[in-house]
Amino acid sequence: MANIKIPDADGLPKYIASTGAGSDVDPILLRRAVDGMGEVQANPTANTLLARIKSLEDKLADVKTAIEALAVATPDTVAGDLASMSVDLGTIQADIATVASNSEITPATVTGTCTAAYATALSLACAGVRNKTVVVVNTDAVLTMKYRIRGFAKSGSSYYNEIQAEATLAASTSQPHVIENSYDVITVEVIDGSGHATYAIDYCGGQ
């Protein structure tokens, strides 16, 4: 037979007799065990639940820490990425400008006076430029002149294509040449006709 311990009005514990086998039981301790407080060893199920809750709290704390770290790091990362993209964009723009520049020949004119031997009056770098226009002008009012035009696949090469074989220009006349074939360099060479004539060569190019 067991005795059940209960608090009395004066605050002191009292025991009442109970039938059946067993040992003295304190209902306050039993309630605490069931509620998950105090002597949790008396309730293994409550103990396991508390452990799981604690584990979940720890995991949530880890997630919170990771999110806070990401929130701090992300602006710096974005700023760095934007700076890198800005540099790359600048490089691309420079490359585009270079390609555009290489695809055009700014209109210009060269002038001079013929001599007794062939001399290069114009050496025109034109790699990547599809259409080229060269106009040879005899600016002398009296004398004739001669010229020829050659195209080189590679600058400095001894091999060339004769775009225009030797031709004679009368005084105060001109001859245009539209060149579509691809060359690295085009040269215009001039020489005396009836004397040391003056000349001008206009040129331009583009796609």
Share of the chain above pLDDT 90, in %: 47
pLDDT score for 39: 45
Mean pLDDT of the chain: 79
Radius of gyration of the chain (CA): 50
**Cα 141 to Cα 101: distance, rounded to the nearest angstrom:** 37
What's the pLDDT tens digit per position in 33-62? 445 554 444 455 556 767 777 777 777 777
CA-based nearest residue to 184, from 202, 148, 157, 145: 157
Q: Where are the domains of the chain?
A: 2-42, 105-206
Average of pLDDT values for 113-132?
A: 95
What's the pLDDT tens digit per position in 165-195? 999 999 999 999 999 999 999 999 999 999 9
Check whether domain 105-206 has CATH 2.60.120.510, yes or no = yes
Whose tokens are 């608090």? That residue is 7
**Cα 107 to Cα 153: distance, rounded to the nearest angstrom:** 22
Model's pTM, two decimal places? 0.54
CA atoms within 13 A on the CB side of 36: 8
- DSSP run (H or E) holding 39: none
What's the pLDDT tens digit per position in 80-115? 666 677 667 767 766 665 555 557 899 999 999 999
